[in-house]
Each structure stands twice: as C-alpha cells, then as structure tokens.
Structure 1
Amino acid sequence: MHCLAAFEALARLGTVARAARELGVSRSALSHSIGLLEHRLQTGLILRYSPAVQLSSAGRTYYEAVHQFVRGIAEGLYELSESSRIPLRLSVSPGMSRLWLSGRLPAFRARHPRIDLSLTVTEGVADVLGHQTDVAIRYGGLAEPGTTSVGLWEETVAPVAAPALAADCAASDLARLVHGVPLLEHRAWAWRDWLARLGRDDLAPAAPVLAGRDLILVLEAAAAGQGVALAPMRLAAPYLKAGRLRRAHASVAPGKPYHAVTASRHLGRPAVSAFLHWLAREAAADAALGGNR
C-alpha cells in the first residue's frame, strides 16, 4: 500500500520533492518505494525523475488505475468516518478568484470542514478530464465531451472609469467615448467585440493604451484615472460599491456565461458534488442581491 501511495503521489504531483513533502517521507524512502513497486510488477513505471517525472507507457496506464483506487479509498473513508478528510482541487482565473470566489470560500470551509481546498489561479484552461483539477470555473467556452457544466450567471459588460472621468464621459455618445478617451481592456472583454454585441460594428475603437491579461490590473488602472475600461459587472462590483469606479456610459452589452466545469464521471464524488451545489447557491444568492449591477 505504501508503494501504491508513493507512486500515485509522484505521478500526480510530478516531482519527487512535492510527492515526498505531501507524504511526509524522505526522497530516498520515496524512491525506494517506487523501486520496490517496479520490482514486484516486473515492469518500469518511471522513465525519468528529474527535472519532472516522466512516466512510461505502462506507468501512465497503471497510474489511471492506482489514482482511482487511492481516491476511492479516501472518499469511502470520508463517508464512513467523521474524522477523515478529502481534497478538492479548484482552478479559477485571477479576477474570479480575487473579486468573487476567495471571499466566499471561508463559508464553504465552515460548511464542509473536512474538505481540503487547493486553489490554482491561472488564465489558462485547466484540464478537468485529466488529473490537473477537479472543478474549473470558466468564462464562456464550450464544454468538452465527457464534461458537465453548471451555469453560474450570464455576465453583463459596461464601460467603467474613475469617478471624475466617468462623470465627463457619461453624457457622451459612443463615438466620442471610443475615440476621445484612453481605452483599457482585458482580452476577454475587448472593445471591438463589445461594440459588435451592441450592433455598432461601424465604430472602430482606438487602440487601447493598456491591454492586460489580468482583470485586477485593468480595473486598478481605471480606478487610477488612466482611462475607461470594459468590465464584467459582477466581478467589478467591489470597485463600484467602494466608489473607486463608476459607470462611464449607459450602454451595456451581454457577455458570456460563467460556469463551473468538471468531468462527468466525477459528479458522484462527495467533494465535487458538495462544491458544485454550494457554488450554485452562492451565485443565485448573489444575483438575488443585485450582484451584477
């Protein structure tokens, strides 16, 4: 059993150091366990240990079975014992994490104290079909075959700016707005796409003075008076409520939906099911309070 646990952790985490740290053993003990497992199986599982672990074809096949076995034991024990714990890996964008999700996670931990959350913050699309993450929160995009998507809310997008600049822009028409002031944008909420959703393809916006991949960066630049940014209203709510940003124009265009995605085969797992139900309730409660205004 300790050999199986060592192999599962090593293959999942990708480095000897991380696997040894999770298991609380030395690197040499971990390597010894892998060697013992390969000897008993009479097949090589690891092609390379450094800088990152590379599995053989037999190792990849065996890992799928071992991973399900180890996870099943942990989740079965979670159902039987009130002292056992299970992990849940989440993947979200920086903006979603800091502006909406992180402040709500203490409530989830209080409700489910035996689920250990591991949060990965990335702009990339996490692989929910492999072993990269259990649940990913995404903006737009299509659910891949083999996945299940839980809708959270339909986003709305509008121009925002620091209070003084927003007051100057509020009465202007769209043409003056997109040509007369510095524009800021995140790649997910581009001015050209927003105008197209409004049916104003005829207005070619000026080049943004700042185009960022981090929504926080874009909103902070707008709050500092550097220009007008397009913002998803639900995520920009903390800035609007604090008075750091205000609506810079009355026009609002529909955005894409936010949704939580997981592998369909994981829906019956207790941690995944608990998190998806909690997340849907949080999104519905936020909408009821006018969180997208």
Structure 2
Amino acid sequence: MRIPPLKAILAFESVARTGSVNRAAEELGLTASAVSHQIGNLESIIGRDLFVRSGRGLVLTPTGKRYLSDVTGSLADLSRATERASNVKGVEILRVHSSPSFGLMWLLPRLASFQEANGDIQLNLACSYENVSFSNGYYDVDIRHGYGNWTNLEIKTLRGEFIAPLASPRYLEQHAVSTPDDLLKCRLIFSETPLVQWNQWFGRTGVSAAHKTFDFSYDRSYMSLETAAMGLGIALESLMLASARIREGALVPVFDDSFAVEVGAHHLVYPAQNADLPRVERFLTWMEAERAVDRGTRHTSP
C-alpha cells in the first residue's frame, strides 16, 4: 500500500484533535472543503472510515483511533529529525508548554536553577490555557492543570500540592485571624482555578459561609496570589504556586498545615516516546528536585 500524502495525514490529525473540519481548516490555513477532500482521500487510500458524524461533530471510529495513535508518533519523529538536522549549534532545545499561573509563579522564579544545572539545554517556554497537541513533535512536555484524565499520554502528577488560605504578613497584622470563623470578617479573594473552592474549604472546617461575598474575583491564580501579596485580602490558593512568594516573605499561610487540603492539580504530560529523550529525562529529574525543595521548606503560619 502506498504512503498517503503528508498533507492528508496532517488534515486527519488536526480534525481528530479539534473534532471539527472548520477548526482544522483555520489551523491549517485551508478551506473546509479542502480539509474534507484530504480526509476523503485518506479514507479512500486506507479503505475504511476514520470518522463518523455525531451531534457534537466528528468522532473517530475504532480504526481512526488506532491510526491517530500510530501517526502521532511518526509525525513527532519527523519533527524531531528535522530539528536535529537544522540545529548546527548542537544545542538541545527543550520546549515546554504550561498554564500561565504555573509558568509565571513557579517556573520563572526557578529558571536560574534550571540553567545552572542544565547549561547545555535551551528552554523554550510557552504559556496558555490550551492543552497542546504533541502530534507535530514541537512540544516535549505540557504542564497541565486539572484532574489528570488525559488519554494516550504519560501523566506524572506533581505530588504534595496543597490548597490553603494565604495572605500577606501586613494584612494579618491588621486583621486578627485565629480560627476559620474569623475569615468571615475579612476580605476574601475568589479564584476560579483551584480544585478546592472557598465553600468547600469552609465546609471542611464546619463553618457556614453560604452568604459570604468576595471582594475580588479572578479566573487566574497568579492574579489572586498577587492581590493577596499586595495586602488586599486573603486568597485560597496553591502553596506550590505561591512557594516563591512565600519564600520571599510576601505571603504566608494563614493557618497551620492541618487546614491545608492536598490536591493533585498540576501534571507533567508527555507522549510515551518523549520519556526517552535525555532533555526530557533531565527536566523531569530537575522538576522532582525542585519539588523536594518546596516540600522541605513549607511554611506554616506564625
């Protein structure tokens, strides 16, 4: 059987990932009819349907799922081979994608540590709230926030992440807080991001907070953490994301460790074939070492 045209395979991968011919067309810079033509051409070569239509768009058939798994690795191999051939300087390039809050609050403050330990690796970091595709081989690792239920990928959960109330020392000096009930008299900062929200946290402590309003509300963790660091209120956020601000004294946990809720919110995600890349192995080792430092220097309230 002849090898299908690469443009047909790329169209298939894009439609499979987005679930939409129109979105794939936008991504590839083609018309929707051109993408549909490429899919039809590929199905004709294979001799089987790769998609079925449903109310939500296009869904992969069992054959389509197997084919996607097979070609994803091949496309990634082609991309890496091209990169190696064009890299005249011999510098290893590690491409990491991250959620903005993790990239800004956790990764950026530690770049000096990474460079010191891995001076021969160039780290390229991109941040957005999209889960990136690995099919084109561009990204090596994606750091995702959520429940870790992605299929066909290796998932390494960053253990020891806790959600807890955080405030600036100055705010706590001005507002006496000794029990969870005292928070009802404080300015609270709401963030959509944490896997544990204020109502859940209060419920675990036995405090009724159904009518408590919030003075600030954000859809980004770094915004709620910075607002708390400015002394404008108390945020319920990840101690891991706040670790750099905690180390420098801009933020402190309001209560001791017994009031922190452990979650598995951030995950290192990558295709199985990337695990054997030396640059990925070294990045994962460095991440684990940095997390061990975080766990060894956890701060509790005074």
TM-score by length of 1: 0.67
Q: Does 1:93 align with 2:93?
A: no
2:246 and 2:299 in contact (8 A); partners too: no
Question: 1:144, 1:272 → 2: CA distance?
Answer: 19
Question: 2:239, 2:254 → 1: CA distance?
Answer: 12
CA pair 132-188 structure 1, distance change in 2 beyond 3 A: farther
Structure 1 spans left out of the alignment, 5+ residues: 1-6, 15-47
Q: Please, which of 170, 180, 187 is the counterpart of residue 182 of structure 1?
A: 187
**2:77 — aligned with what?**
68
Instruction: Show CA shifts across 1:40-83 (max 9, x none).
Output: xxxxxxxx99885246436999x8545523414655x79xx995
1:126 and 1:132 in contact (8 A); partners too: no
Q: Please, which of 178, 186, 198 is the counterpart of residue 191 of structure 1?
A: 198
Superposed, which structure 2 residues align to 1:197-208 within 5 Å?
A: 198-200=204-206, 202-204=208-210, 206-208=212-214
CA pair 124-154 structure 1, distance change in 2 beyond 3 A: farther
Residue 184 (structure 1) shift: 0.1
1:84 and 1:114 in contact (8 A); partners too: no
Residue 145 (structure 1) shift: 2.4
SS for the counterpart of 1:158 is strand
CA pair 50-218 structure 1, distance change in 2 beyond 3 A: closer
Equivalenced residue count is 245
2:75 and 2:135 in contact (8 A); partners too: no
CA RMSD of aligned residues (A): 3.8
**1:145 — aligned with what?**
151
Superposed, which structure 2 residues align to 1:19-34 within 5 Å?
A: none
2:109 and 2:244 in contact (8 A); partners too: no
Q: Does 1:263 align with 2:271?
A: yes
SS for the counterpart of 2:159 is strand
CA pair 172-201 structure 1, distance change in 2 beyond 3 A: closer
**2:132 — aligned with what?**
126
**2:281 — aligned with what?**
273
CA pair 146-238 structure 1, distance change in 2 beyond 3 A: same
**2:54 — aligned with what?**
none
Residue type matched to 2:185 in 1? G
Residue 212 (structure 1) shift: 1.0
Residue 256 (structure 1) shift: 1.5
Question: 2:208, 2:149 → 1: CA distance?
Answer: 32
**1:103 — aligned with what?**
109
Residue type matched to 1:68 in 2? D
Residue type matched to 2:188 in 1? L
Question: 1:52, 1:120 → 2: CA distance?
Answer: 20
SS for the counterpart of 1:145 is coil
Question: 2:283, 2:138 → 1: CA distance?
Answer: 17
CA pair 131-249 structure 1, distance change in 2 beyond 3 A: same
Question: 2:152, 2:189 → 1: CA distance?
Answer: 37
2:180 and 2:205 in contact (8 A); partners too: no
Question: 1:252, 1:264 → 2: CA distance?
Answer: 37
Structure 2 spans left out of the alignment, 5+ residues: 1-6, 15-23, 43-66
1:156 and 1:292 in contact (8 A); partners too: no
Amino-acid identity (%): 23
TM-score by length of 2: 0.65
1:157 and 1:254 in contact (8 A); partners too: yes
